[in-house]
A and B are shown apart, each in its own frame.
Chain A
């Protein structure tokens, strides 16, 4: 059983509570939702459009669409899954409009560390991280997103299925195929 981000401890409001507050006109609640989820939305956008400035536009459009449609958010999925689905759709729309994919231009973006590791292990992982990112880009879209959303964002396979537009089972298959392919590419 995993401990989900939205199951906040220490009195922090849940995403759903922030959504309700945002609907009532509380801009600070919307701001808090932005702070919590903009990084994940950015990573999904970059993963699809592969270009920093386009990804930023996509994330902004996704948040605006989500907040304008907040009245229709029923809470069937988590806010994060809903937002990431909107982001993925926006990114695909941006791709269709541009009809091209450019080489990565992500000067301002950089890797972040998450798990506590010893210095030696951290050094090895850091050395490999750039290569892993490049190899990830070579996976088919659904495998790439499934691996990223599962490992980087901690989404369940059901949630990943909602974002990539497939069933829970297909998301699981895409993830494990992606992991296997990534291991082959990294060897």
Chain B
């Protein structure tokens, strides 16, 4: 038993039994194991563990593939959707004069038009959304915001 060689081989054994090892390392394992009872025992154990690996029930794959379709048909609201709502409320609240139809994404929910600055609400996917507060924003930050909302023309 050679501690250094054993350490190397024991690191390689899982990939050796899984057929994931490069050819040079396969040789390292194959040359070492016949002369090392400890590593041979560990190799045998790894083979048994791998052989005990469970296969998923056949119906699971079909079920999962169906669920992929449900992901597409019921899209979750994403952070940019909520941001769009907040930006829409912001844009309306401060009277941006550019054409909103051209600036605001079409999925902005209707309730965005009724909220007051600082209001928060629970959206239909359970996330907290709301209109932003302007308190504490510097003049530069407000100007940058205006610039972004007006498409860079402010």
B45 near A112 with CB under 8 A, answer no
Any A CB within 8 A of the CB of B102: no
A3 near B22 with CB under 8 A, answer yes
Chain A residues within CB distance 8 Å of chain B: 1-5, 25, 27, 30-31, 34-35, 38-39, 42-43, 46, 52, 56, 59-60, 63-64, 67-68, 71, 106, 108-115, 117, 125-126, 128-130, 132-133, 136, 147-148, 150-152, 154, 176, 179, 182-183, 186
Give every chain A residue within 8 A of B71 (Cβ-Cβ): 30, 64, 67-68
The complex places the Cα of A43 from the Cα of B54 at a distance, in Å, of 6
B50 near A42 with CB under 8 A, answer no
Any A CB within 8 A of the CB of B47: yes
In this complex, what residue of B is CB-closest to A128? Answer: B48
The B interface, classified by DSSP as helix, strand, loop or mixed, is helix
Give every chain A residue within 8 A of B42 (Cβ-Cβ): 179, 183
The complex places the Cα of A128 from the Cα of B63 at a distance, in Å, of 32
Give the contact-size bracket for chain B: 35 or more
A151 near B50 with CB under 8 A, answer yes
A129-B51, A182-B49 known; A115-B18 Cβ under 8 A: yes
B54 near A111 with CB under 8 A, answer yes
What sequence of 0s and 1s flags, for each residue 64-75 of chain B, a beta carbon within 8 Å of any chain A beta carbon?
A: 110111111001
